[in-house]
Amino acid sequence: MNLNLLETFIVTVEKGTLSAAAEELHLTQPAVSKQLKALEEILGLRLLERSSRELKLTPGGQLFYRRAREILRLLEQTRRELAEMSGLVRGKLILGASTIPGHYILPRLIGPFKDKYPQVEVKLEIGDSEEIIHKLMGGEIDLGAVGVEERRRGLFYQYLVEDELILILPREHPWARKPSLTVQDLAEASWVWRKEGSGTRRSAEELLKTHGFILRPEKIVAELGSTEAVVNAVEAGLGVSLVSRWAAEKSLSLGRIATVPVEGVRLKRHLYLVRKSRQLSPPAAAFVEFVEGWRLGGCGSSSFAAAGNLINQFDRGRLENGSSRYCIGWRQEHPHGKK
């Protein structure tokens, strides 16, 4: 049996429609339908009940879905074990990341990593921090990159880089002409916020709370699903927000939005790599070592500017990729003391 048929079946079940499965698999919808029909003919059993709106598993389909997932899991495990025996780094690496590391940090590292390990297939999934942790706990991804530490048993965090949250506002906002603001000023504004579950939102709320500021719900004019959407909404004049400097840098450099410091407020947080197990697959272990090689250039200097400079150097190939030295080890507690 062609294993591609199993993958097509599993993806179709999990996506719920032929069109969504086709998009995920980079196939046409008729090609997906043809593969499903071929699988049913091989088994001599109908696996899916098709209607105009949804696909529903038959009892036999439910059993086969569970077995098919187990078959592919065992196959991947066998590949990993064989790769360990041969010493060759190859196979699949599934990364999950929240918005900021997923959009602005990991993509710049994946390219050089692929140059070093061309036989590793890398997939990056992006969601909010809660979603990424859920996928990691469920074994759906190998490594995560998030902006918050979830205190759950069996999760191991590694400090990746420092992130700075900045106050952004429309270019024509009255505050844009001020040299600085106070925490009390923030209560007057209309706010554009990330949706619940976002690591950026949680970090911003916690940091503001330590300075005695709690945003009232009625001052939130919009809750959006991505940081990019928040920046665009601020640019359009909808309100102000706190976002990662990584996400705002382009719009700031083009003069589309403004930023003003808040007196006495340090709005900084850490971004982390996180994994579920101490035992990693060869591709995941290679990626961790590779990232630590990148981090070597910034040990002891983890500011936004320093990290950005490191990534720019990495893009130009000026850093030694994948050094085997370690900057900081995996741990379950916060790398700089209790949070």
pLDDT over 60 at 72, yes or no: yes
Q: Which of 165, 248, 252 is nearest to 200 (CA)?
A: 165
Mean pLDDT of all residues in 115-141: 90
Mean pLDDT of all residues in 272-292: 84
Mean pLDDT of all residues in 70-74: 86
pLDDT over 90 at 221, yes or no: yes
Crossing angle of helices 29-43 and 18-25, in 10° steps, is 100
What domains can you pick out in the chain, each with its CATH number?
Answer: 3-84 (1.10.10.10), 87-161+270-315 (3.40.190.10), 162-268 (3.40.190.10)
Mean pLDDT of all residues in 266-276: 87
What is residue 52's predicted lDDT score, i.e. its pLDDT?
A: 62
What is residue 292's predicted lDDT score, i.e. its pLDDT?
A: 83
Mean pLDDT of all residues in 9-28: 86
pLDDT over 50 at 249, yes or no: yes
Instruction: Using the Cα atoms of residue 243, residue 208, residue 306 and residue 295 in order, give the sign of their dihedral.
Output: negative
pLDDT over 70 at 161, yes or no: yes
Mean pLDDT of all residues in 70-93: 76
Residue bearing tokens 């630590």: 292
Span of 184-188, 303-307, 335-339 with lowest mean pLDDT:
335-339
Distance CA 287, CA 122 (A): 10
Confidence grade of residue 338 (pLDDT, cut at 50, 70, 90): very low
Mean pLDDT of all residues in 75-94: 75
What is residue 67's predicted lDDT score, i.e. its pLDDT?
A: 92
Q: Kindly state the tokens that stand for 286.
A: 């290679």
Collect contacts of 200-206 with beta carbons under 8 A, ≥24 apart: 200/98, 200/99, 200/100, 200/147, 200/165, 200/227, 200/242, 200/243, 200/244, 202/129, 202/147, 202/148, 203/147, 203/148, 203/165, 203/269, 204/165, 204/242, 204/267
Span of 147-156, 221-230, 310-319, 320-329 with lowest mean pLDDT:
320-329
Average pLDDT of the chain, as a whole number: 82
pTM over 0.75: no
What is residue 129's predicted lDDT score, i.e. its pLDDT?
A: 86
Work out the percent of the chain whose per-residue pLDDT is above 90.
39
Confidence grade of residue 74 (pLDDT, cut at 50, 70, 90): confident
What is residue 208's predicted lDDT score, i.e. its pLDDT?
A: 85
Residue partners of 70: CB distance under 8 A and separation at least 6: none
Residue partners of 65: CB distance under 8 A and separation at least 6: 9, 10, 13, 47, 57
Confidence grade of residue 337 (pLDDT, cut at 50, 70, 90): very low
- CB-CB contact of 326 with 293 (8 Å): no
Interval 45-54: pLDDT, tens: 999 988 766 7
pLDDT over 80 at 86, yes or no: no
